[in-house]
Structure 1
Amino acid sequence: MPRQPRRRMLTDRTRLEVWGDPIAHSRSPRLHAAAYGVLGLDWEYGRRRVDEAGFAAELDGMDATWRGLSLTMPLKHAAAARAATLDDDARLTGAVNTYLLTDDGPHGFNTDVGGLARALEEIGVRRPQRVRVLGAGATATSAVVAAARAGAVDIDVRARRPDAAAPLVAIGARLGVTVRATTLDAPDPVSVDATIAAFPGGTDLGALAGPLASASGPLVDVVYGGWPTPLALAWERAGVPAHDGLTMLLHQALLQVRLFVTGDASRPLRRDDEVLAAMRIALMGD
């Protein structure tokens, strides 16, 4: 287990930001402001455009007023490489989306995994046995771990190049679950309890989407811009519910808030339900 940061190191740290490139679209400042308002914390949470080339310099320039960072693309792998410690999900995926900043360095966490697992539960997918993941990139890695955390024992990965999913198969072996990688057009897809789409927004599988949708439980498409996506429309045509990535975004942000406040994502906040409700309202502001 990763070493937990000592809370006394966080006492006077009140500044937080979300970093990435692009970043202007990020809803994190709104989500976090709502949470800290409920908790009565006078913390500052902003956004900063940071690309991978400039990440190390920006990180090295931070002083002791900084409490933590939310990290989005393209920084998640660079953040993992610079972390003093990693939680289990960050270590498995090689991706960090949250830094807790202390005197002994940045501590890295991956709350995307827990956020996606909680999102599956919210839409009614509880302890699924079989899950399908579409894609084999970095987001698909978190999706495989989230499916396993949610209870799946059999994960069907569909990718344009199945060889690209070899790391996902290896992660499955480490978690004690079966991960099979096949092409998007493999015949007769098996029925699954849920599908997680981990493609870039706007991906259109054309005629390939119909058979996948018909053999699927609810779809969680991790994107949340340009909704409904072509995949969501294919699921709706098949009469199967489709959900965007906002629920995942909400729950991963709550886990980040728990980390920033308590140092432990599994430890509920005081007024945890009220915080989640306020963040949900803030998220629906658009």
Structure 2
Amino acid sequence: MSRIRAAVLGSPIEHSLSPVLHRAAYRALGLDDWSYDRFEIDEAALPGFVAGLGPEWAGLSLTMPLKRAVLPLLDGVSDTAASVEAVNTVVRTGDGRLLGDNTDIPGIVAALGERGVGKVPAAAILGAGATASSALAALARICTGEVTAYVRSRARADEMRQWGDRLGVAVRTADWADAAEALAAPLVIATTPAGTTDALAASVPEAPGTLFDVLYEPWPTALAASWADRGGQVVGGLDLLVHQAVLQVERMTGRTPGPLAAMRAAGERALAAR
């Protein structure tokens, strides 16, 4: 039996949960001839790896630092991926073309929608890195009012306003020193590295709205734990990881709907074992 291959690429890649999630999906879908691996690939090695993909390859998942580096290597890019100049999914078509997509953006929307968060009148973003641009693109779909981004530098502030202009989102920027103000927003998306928001945990208001913290390890973050203690709704990084992976599985295999419950259960088991 010939194998159909897929994999996640990035650097570092050792702790990626993608193999756990995608293999669980293949089991649930009965795709016994599919395999999913991980490869430590940096920007310098990416062109050679992509050039060597044979017809057995169905697709790739990409993590940092490859989401922008892959763009010139592709035959086409979806509007969603083009909107943030970042590809996390590559699908090989039947005629051998490599098409790039971004499932992080609809993954954010889907993870919030699963918790009953549809349209919101305003939102706040903590941070201004690559994930923040995807968060802005997601908010372009669900936020009817202003988004305030809390950042550490003028350059980052300029960047976020430029992304807002490009994505059609009204973005106001504020200094990170005032980030406690963000917690009063009906939806707060934390996109910063581990530990960055810990100092905000003591500032969570009574009856907070929804917090979407994109981290999944360590979990819960101090901010997420404090938010939940005060009765607020918390959406975590595993929710995002699973929802974007479900969309990847659907695009690569052509099978819908993807097995969300089986993939989430596999991810939870893997994290609990760490």
**Fold-level match, TM-score > 0.5?**
yes
Change (3 A) 1:244 1:146: same
Shift of 1:257: 0.9
Q: How far apart are the structure 2 equivalents of 1:276 and 1:58? A: 30
Q: 1:185 to 1:216 in 2, by over 3 A?
A: farther
Aligned-partner residue type, residue 38 of structure 2 = R
What letter matches 1:154 in structure 2? E
Q: Report the CA distance between 1:169 and its aligned residue.
A: 2.0
Query: Among 2, 6, 10, which residue is 1:20 paired with?
Result: 10
AA matched with 1:29 = P
1 CA distance for matches of 2:3 and 2:19?
17
* Distance (whole Å) between structure 2 residues aligned to residue 215 and residue 192 of structure 1: 11
Partner of 2:263: 279
Deviations 1:253-284 (A, max 9, x none): 0110111123xxxxxx44x26x1122122122
* Aligned twin of 1:78: 69
Q: Does 1:220 align with 2:204?
A: no
Give the Cα–Cα distance (whole angstroms) in 1 for the partners of residues 105 and 209 of structure 2: 20
* Amino acid in structure 1 at the alignment position of 2:21: L
Structure 2 unaligned segments of length 5 or more: list them. Answer: none
CA contact 1:203–1:230 (8 Å) conserved in 2 = no
| Secondary structure class of the residue paired with 1:185 | helix
Task: Verify the 8 A CA contact 1:210 1:238 in the aligned structure 2.
Answer: no
For the Cα contact (< 8 Å) 2:207–2:230, is it kept in 1? Answer: no
Alignment-derived partner of residue 45 in structure 2: 54
Shift of 1:168: 2.8
Is contact 1:85-1:107 (8 Å) kept? Answer: yes
Q: Which residue of the partner structure matches residue 164 of structure 1?
A: 156
Q: How does 1:1-286 map to 2 (within 5 A)?
A: 14-41=4-31, 42-102=33-93, 103-186=95-178, 189=181, 191-204=184-197, 206=199, 208=200, 210-211=202-203, 217-236=209-228, 238-262=230-254, 269-270=255-256, 272=257, 275-286=259-270
Gap change, CA 1:179 and 1:66, over 3 Å in 2? same
Does the 8 A contact of 2:58 with 2:253 survive in 1?
no
Does structure 2 conserve the Cα–Cα contact (< 8 Å) formed by 1:15 and 1:65?
A: yes
> Distance between the aligned counterparts of 1:142 and 1:196, measured in 2?
11
TM-score, structure 1 length as denominator? 0.84
| TM-score of the two chains, using structure 2 as the length reference | 0.87
**1:215 Cα deviation after fit:** 8.9
On the 8 A contact 1:213/1:240 being kept in 2, the answer is: no
Post-superposition offset of 1:245:
0.3
Cα-Cα RMSD: 2.4
What's the CA shift string for 1:158-190, capped at 9, x where partnerless?
111143133332332233321111112238836
Of the structure 1 ranges 82-91 and 102-111, higher mean CA displacement relative to structure 2 is found in 102-111
Percent of residue pairs bearing the same amino acid type: 42
**Which deviations, in whole Å up to 9, do the C-alpha atoms of 1:84-125 show, x marking residues without a partner?**
211122111111100012445421111001111111112232
Say if 1:161 and 1:168 are closer, same or farther in 2 by CA, change over 3 A: same
- Structure 1: unaligned runs, 5 residues or longer: 1-11, 263-268
Distance in structure 2 (CA, Å) of the matches to 1:162 and 1:212? 26
Matched to 1:185, the amino acid is: A
User: How far 1:193 sits from its partner (Å)?
Assistant: 1.6
CA distance 1:72–1:126, change in 2 (3 Å): same
1:265 maps to none
